[in-house]
Amino acid sequence: MQLVHTIAEMRVVRRELPTDKSIGFVPTMGYLHEGHLSLVKASNDNCDITIVSIYVNPSQFGPNEDLSSYPRDLERDLHLLSQYRVDYVFFPTNEQIYPPNYKTWVEVEGLSGILCGASRPGHFRGVATIVLKLVNIVKPDHIFMGSKDFQQVKVLQTMLRDLNLESRIVACPIVREADGLAMSSRNSYLDPAQRQRALCLSQAIKLVQQATASGERDATKLQQIAEEHCSQYGQVDYIQIVDSENLQPLKQVDSSSRIIMAVFIDRVRLIDNAALGE
């Protein structure tokens, strides 16, 4: 496992990789958990070479969000990664990624402004920009990403398509704790009582899946079931049943529709989603 600190060094490393080897890339913000590691494993299973990046990207955080308190523990991350076949870990600095005269941003119209994008203005602009920059530096064949950030996957797939990039996203399943909570670096903010309340998201998904399986097709009614459940434990940011392809809201659902949500447990904003047929 080689640590790569600069963009220049990463470019040299990349240039010297054998052209007949497939490159898997796992971009992360660190504070790794089993969800991140499942992506590393998927890259190991599908690619010859695995490159992981650890970079807390300031441009995807809003002014009142948790950039300064976002959990960081590089030593622990490197220890976890050393248990897999990780060829390179790239951790650039803010100064390299956003030098003082930085001016260019990537906007994926439409998809960036709905759901999480509506409550986090500028978030997906920051995500699309950093991922394009990393992809241009790392030039991977495959980018392994979690379906936990379902909208992020859609935004980035659209960006790669529209900008004619050859890297392809492999969307991997959500890894959950035994009790159903989707793993997230932000779960570390939760105290034991909040951690218990945080179960409302996965519980609401189950309730809606059960109602769908019993024949309920009315999206408004299904959303109400989830909202009533979650609002007992937290503050609902949004809960929406959408078309899995274009993320547009639906009136009538089928088993390929998706429920997607963000709920605040006090100040901690958690997201989750699932196909209704799962």
Active-site annotation, residues? 36
Q: Looking at 140-148, 160-168, 198-206, 232-240, which segment touches ligand AMP (CB under 6 A)?
A: 140-148
The backbone region for 60, taken as left when phi is positive above 0, alpha when psi lies in -120 to 50, beta otherwise, is alpha
Give the C-alpha separation, 259 to 241, whole Å: 4
> Residue 21 in 3-state DSSP?
coil
- Judged by beta carbon, residue 4 or residue 171, the one nearer ligand AMP is 171
CB of 154 to ligand AMP, least distance (A): 12
Q: Report which residue's Cβ sits closest to ligand AMP.
A: 146
Residues in the interface with ligand AMP (CB under 6 A) total 17
- Judged by beta carbon, residue 61 or residue 233, the one nearer ligand AMP is 61
Give the C-alpha separation, 35 to 182, whole Å: 8
CB of 151 to ligand AMP, least distance (A): 10
Q: β-pairing, 49-54 with 23-28?
A: parallel
CB of 9 to ligand AMP, least distance (A): 22
- Judged by beta carbon, residue 219 or residue 274, the one nearer ligand AMP is 274
Residue choice 148, 154, 229, 258 for contact with ligand AMP (CB under 6 A) = 148
Residue choice 55, 78, 86, 149 for contact with ligand AMP (CB under 6 A) = 149
Q: Is 156 in the site for ligand AMP (CB under 6 A)?
A: no
Q: Is 259 in the site for ligand AMP (CB under 6 A)?
A: no
Letter for the amino acid at 14?
A: R
Give the C-alpha separation, 226 to 179, whole Å: 18
Residue choice 175, 241, 247, 265 for contact with ligand AMP (CB under 6 A) = 175
CB of 186 to ligand AMP, least distance (A): 8
Tell whether the torsion through CA atoms of 199, 200, 205 and 210 is positive or negative. Answer: positive
Residues 48, 22 contacting (CB under 8 angstroms): yes
DSSP letters for 244-255: TTT--B-SB--T
Give the C-alpha separation, 209 to 146, whole Å: 21
Q: Is 208 in the site for ligand AMP (CB under 6 A)?
A: no
Q: Is 185 in the site for ligand AMP (CB under 6 A)?
A: yes
Residue choice 183, 230, 260, 270 for contact with ligand AMP (CB under 6 A) = 183
Residue choice 28, 44, 112, 187 for contact with ligand AMP (CB under 6 A) = 28
Helices 200-213 and 219-230, interaxial angle, to 10°?
A: 150
User: Which of 194, 245, 253, 264 lies closest to 225, judged by CA?
Assistant: 253
Q: Looking at 15-23, 63-71, 154-162, 167-175, which segment touches ligand AMP (CB under 6 A)?
A: 167-175
Q: What is the DSSP letter of 232?
A: T
CB of 208 to ligand AMP, least distance (A): 19
Give the C-alpha separation, 89 to 87, whole Å: 7
- Give the chain's end-to-end CA distance (angstroms, integer): 37
Interface residues with ligand AMP (CB under 6 A) are 28-29, 35-36, 38-39, 145-146, 148-149, 172, 174-175, 182-185
